[in-house]
Amino acid sequence: MAANRANVELVPVPTETESPACPHGPTLLFERFDQASKKPRQFYACSAFRDQKACSFFQWANQNPEISSLSTRSIVAPPYCHKHLRKRYFEFKKLSRELRSVCCTCGLLLLQEESSQHLSQKHSLRHQVGLKELKHPTSLFQPLDDNKTYAQYLFAKSTVSFLIDTVERLGYTHILCVGAPRIHEEVQFCKKSGRNVTSLLLDLDERYAQVYPPSLYIKYNMFNQHFFETRSKSRLLKFLSEGGSRVVMVTDPPFGGMVEALVATFTKLSDMWVTSAAKQSSDLANVKGKLLPLIWFFPYFMENRITSQLPEMSMLDYKVDYENHVLFNNQHKKKGSPVRIFTNIAQTEFSLPQDQGYWFCKSCQRFSSKENWHCSECGACTSKDGTRYVHCDMCMRCVKPSRVHCFTCQMCQLKDHTCGQMNSSGCHICGEPDHKRRDCPRRPQTEMATIGQKRDLKRKANSAGTKHQKKARRI
């Protein structure tokens, strides 16, 4: 019987064993607390899909797999190979606009005779697809933003331009987009307008195989470095070798993603890059022993998790704006988006937009956001979460403005804390101490849709008495 994937921890696979594989490549080893034996118990499960309807692989460590019960689901239905999807794409393009429809349910560009069949199954169809729309697949295909695995939150235009302008100014010419389809799309779209950059998309979402040839899109699992088609790896090596020291990797993984698995993958991609550059002797000296230049989008409160494993990475103060996510949007929240850029490129190289309030701190030799003041005691611009931190002489560090020093706990705490209860204000979803459930990027999108209603409920509850108050507190 499959275990519940909530409250599970990723554990490294012992070096002497090999993980069993599911259709999405080698599985990962997890551990959870087993209520029956009252002990932690380990099991292998799919690295990409947590939803067991999408991949039902499950195997207790040291036991045989339950292969008979294995089922998987693909977004593009039926699951065609890349070559076949491209063949269909060219046929689709030949149709007149009136006859060009895409099935949003199956993620498939439909050929003439297929529409009625999808309609009869009550699928949602988009009609009269223009050829220009095919150049913007992230808008054409419905973002899978209600799906924990794909977590397709798309960058706002401002972030896309900032990223591409920066990368180009720094002299990179080859952008390896790992789970960053919108960056890839923009690079491809702008190719003709004189930009000197090219890109390759690695993503699990096979809908892109319709609109991009194998030289521009590779179906890939970023949690285990799995390639789904035989020639994919050599195509990636070709791209890396052509770019050499001018390759930069841009990645925006699903935020529920396990940092340890991602770090392992990014290290493997780096090794591939070094191997490919070794073939071009002029580049070898520039890349040997290095981590591929990396731009990784992730929430600020993952800083320690990332930098403890990749000490060459540091966090920029830039607040990453998204189009289809209420909480990752700079307009929606006073503090702005919680998503930042982690990079091994020197912070001085990034020029953050001054018209959005970013300013250059001479002491830190980097741009900081407008509310982030340099603390002379700490010797740094200390804010992480978009509020102005204040220095506490007793703690000898800057703290969030909501904290006051408590002499009983001997540390800064929330004003209404109960002394002795550590981390009582931590997040109920991911357990991190420095944000609350409502700010957690791992919070399901369905909860967010009702955020306004719940706030109203809370407001009403505040005036209506204790019964509702209890309910609102659980939000």
- Tokens, residue 454: 């719940």
Q: Determine, following the binding rule CB under 6 A, whether residue 179 of this chain makes contact with ligand SAM.
A: yes
The 3-state DSSP class for residue 437 equals helix
Window of 210-218, 219-227, 361-369, 400-408 that interacts with ligand SAM by CB under 6 A = 219-227
Interface with ligand SAM in residues 132-161 (CB under 6 A): 149-155
Helix (H) or strand (E) run with residue 108 in it: strand 108-110
Binder among 61, 134, 170, 375 for Zn ion (CB under 5 A): 375
CB-CB contact of 39 with 45 (8 Å):
no
Q: Determine, following the binding rule CB under 5 A, whether residue 111 of this chain makes contact with Zn ion.
A: no
> Binding partner of residue 179 among Zn ion, ligand SAM, none, CB under 5 to 8 Å per kind?
ligand SAM
Return the closest-CA partner of residue 45 out of 6, 16, 75, 74: 6
Interface with ligand SAM in residues 325-364 (CB under 6 A): none
* Burial (Cβ within 10 Å: 0-12, 13-18, ≥19) of residue 133: middle
> Binding partner of residue 205 among Zn ion, ligand SAM, none, CB under 5 to 8 Å per kind?
ligand SAM
Q: Roughly how many angstroms between the first and final C-alpha of the chain, as a whole number?
A: 32
> Binding partner of residue 329 among ligand SAM, Zn ion, none, CB under 5 to 8 Å per kind?
none
Q: Determine, following the binding rule CB under 5 A, whether residue 419 of this chain makes contact with Zn ion.
A: yes
Return the closest-CA partner of residue 268 out of 247, 284, 252, 291: 291
Q: Pick between residue 99 and residue 361 the one whose CB is nearest to Zn ion.
A: 361
Tell me the site size for ligand SAM, rule CB under 6 A.
Answer: 22
Return the closest-CA partner of residue 332 out of 239, 231, 410, 439: 439
Q: Among all chains, which residue has been given the structure tokens 């470095």?
A: 225
Compute and round to an integer the Cα radius of gyration of the chain: 24
The 3-state DSSP class for residue 178 equals strand
In the complex, least distance from residue 379 CB atom to ligand SAM, rounded to whole angstroms = 34
Q: Determine, following the binding rule CB under 6 A, whether residue 265 of this chain makes contact with ligand SAM.
A: no
> Binding partner of residue 308 among ligand SAM, Zn ion, none, CB under 5 to 8 Å per kind?
none
Q: Pick between residue 449 and residue 464 the one whose CB is nearest to ligand SAM.
A: 449
Q: Determine, following the binding rule CB under 6 A, whether residue 252 of this chain makes contact with ligand SAM.
A: yes
Q: Which residue has the CB atom at the shortest distance from ligand SAM?
A: 179
Crossing angle for the helix pair 259-278 and 232-243, to the nearest 10 degrees: 70
In the complex, least distance from residue 466 CB atom to ligand SAM, rounded to whole angstroms = 40
Binding site for ligand SAM (CB under 6 A): 48, 149-155, 179-183, 203-205, 220-223, 252, 254
